[in-house]
Amino acid sequence: MSVALRDYADAAGPEVIDALERLARPLRGRRVVHVNSTRVGGGVAEILARLVPLMNDLGMDAGWEVIEGTQEFYGVTKTFHNALQGVPVTPTPRGLEVYDEMNRQAARTIGPALADADFVFIHDPQPAAILRHLPSRRGRWVWRCHIDVSRPHRPVWKFLRPIVAPYDASVYSMAAFAQPLPHPQYIIAPSIDPLSDKNRPLEESEVSSVAARHGLDPSRPVVVQVSRFDRFKDPIGVIQAYRIAKRHLPIQLVLVGGTATDDPEGDAVLAAVREARADDPDVHVLLLPPDAHREINALQRRASLVMQKSLKEGFGLTVTEALWKGKPVIGGRAGGIVLQVVDHHTGFLVDTPEGAAFRMRYLLNRPNAVALMAEKARRFVRENFLLTRHLREYLTVMLAIDSGGGDQVEVA
Ligand code: UDP
């Protein structure tokens, strides 16, 4: 679907669109190129698919290139990914050579498009070494790191640090995710797209038919958690919280997860969830395909409240998605959840299943408080976590590095 910036006026507010146009004025005609490692699949590709057209819509000459790699290359970069998030794994010397060679080849194939660009955003570690194979680059290069590199496995960081240090700037999703590097560092939080299938408004009839298809009783409250079946998302803790609250309230629980067949951990967690569910007909464990965006949208809208009881979390886009739909979120005190769940305003932060159960009862017994929180939740996302804010921050970073990395940007 092709979207234009003006399509976002309803969701974000017309003044936000005007501000973006003003901010982008000095950048009109400038060449911007994003580079990542896949055109489909994963949050980065999803964001670029929207961000690049919107940059063009604002008058920039924006493009998107992809580094091509062999299976061996992706194996190495997956090891980087795990190691940067703290897992003690290191690629073999041969793997490191493959990584460098793929980047050298990319410098030959897509390099000419990058050498002339005014701004190049290199996303994550996969294409990061292109820069060192392009000595003739002209514009500003930014390493956009989407993962938590705050506690990397040291040998891998020792390899990557000299690769990313020569960039003009780097960008992280949260301050806590960054590493010290010898250039300006910026924070840009992720965002959701209010026009995507996952987040667009749905007819009430679609919401109720999805709920009915999954066997939910329309007359009773529903608590929903959408998450991969991963221990850090604590689905068992959610079931424990539900059991405690269920003594007092006729609730139904929906745990929505993916059909991740290549993840042995995921299978084990799913088996544990099924065991914990026992034969409770009010606990619905749903395995949906990865493109079931509208269905997840409908289930989030059907929820009386949403849980995200993570023990560890990156940013927690499921929290943003729920708040945008006006659902108070009971969230684990972890990662980006604490940026989004403002205690007593957009939801509650909890540390234990007992705490979560207590907050479930609190919310389900107070429809007026929920209505107030719903309003605040939606406004909070509108002001902070929509794609339009994301775009604004990209523009601001471009203006800042263009003017020499100062900490003030003058807008005409
Ligand atoms: N999601 C999905 N299907 C699932 C589980 C998750 O589409 O079965 C989506 C969810 O709606 C959200 C994203 O995957 O958009 C998960 O992002 P989040 O930041 O919450 O967690 P991550 O999986 O990246 O740790």
Nearest CA to ligand 1 atom 11: 318
d(CA 186, CA 397): 7
pLDDT band for 92, please (50, 70, 90 cuts). very high
Cβ(310) to ligand 1 under 6 A?
no
Cβ(241) to ligand 1 under 6 A?
no
pLDDT band for 263, please (50, 70, 90 cuts). low
d(CA 83, CA 254): 33
Q: Are 225 and 308 in contact (CB under 8 A)?
A: yes
Could you tell me the end-to-end alpha-carbon distance of the chain, in angstroms, rounded to an integer? 33
In our burial notation (b when 16+ CB lie closer than 10 A, e otherwise), range 190-225 reads bbbbbbbebbeebeeeebeebbeebebeeeebbbbb
Give the model's pLDDT for residue 406.
Answer: 62
- Name the strand (E) or helix (H) holding 82: helix 71-84
Cβ(318) to ligand 1 under 6 A?
yes
User: In the numeric block, which tokens belong to residue 384?
Assistant: 């902070």
What are the percentages of helix, strand and coil residues in the chain, rounded to 5? 50, 15, 35
Which whole number is the average pLDDT over 244-260? 91
Chain segment 358-394, per-residue pLDDT in tens: 999 999 999 999 999 999 999 999 999 999 999 999 9
Chain segment 192-220, per-residue pLDDT in tens: 999 999 999 999 999 999 999 999 999 99
What's the gap in Å between 30 CA and the centre of ligand 1?
Answer: 34
Q: Is pLDDT larger for residue 258 or for residue 96?
A: 96
Q: Inter-axis angle of helices 264-277 and 235-246, to 10 degrees?
A: 10
Quote the mean pLDDT of the chain. 94
Give the model's pLDDT for residue 264.
Answer: 67
Cβ(17) to ligand 1 under 6 A?
no
Cβ(266) to ligand 1 under 6 A?
no
d(CA 136, CA 138): 6
pLDDT band for 314, please (50, 70, 90 cuts). confident
Cβ(258) to ligand 1 under 6 A?
yes
Give the model's pLDDT for residue 412.
Answer: 60
Q: Among 227, 273, 294, 319, which is best to mutate for testing ligand 1, by the most ligand atoms less than 8 A from CB? A: 227
Which whole number is the average pLDDT over 219-234? 94
- Position 255 pLDDT exceeds 60: yes
- Position 261 pLDDT exceeds 60: no
Give the model's pLDDT for residue 226.
Answer: 97
Cβ(224) to ligand 1 under 6 A?
no
What's the gap in Å between 378 CA and the centre of ligand 1?
Answer: 19
d(CA 315, CA 319): 9
- Position 262 pLDDT exceeds 60: no
pTM: 0.91
Atom of ligand 1 nearest to the CA of 228: 5
Question: Between β-strands 185-187 and 169-172, what pairing exists: parallel, antiparallel or unpaired?
Answer: parallel
- Position 409 pLDDT exceeds 70: no
Chain segment 102-141, per-residue pLDDT in tens: 999 999 999 999 999 999 999 999 999 999 999 888 999 9
Q: Which of 297, 299, 290 is nearest to 197 (CA)?
A: 297
Q: Are 383 and 16 in contact (CB under 8 A)?
A: no
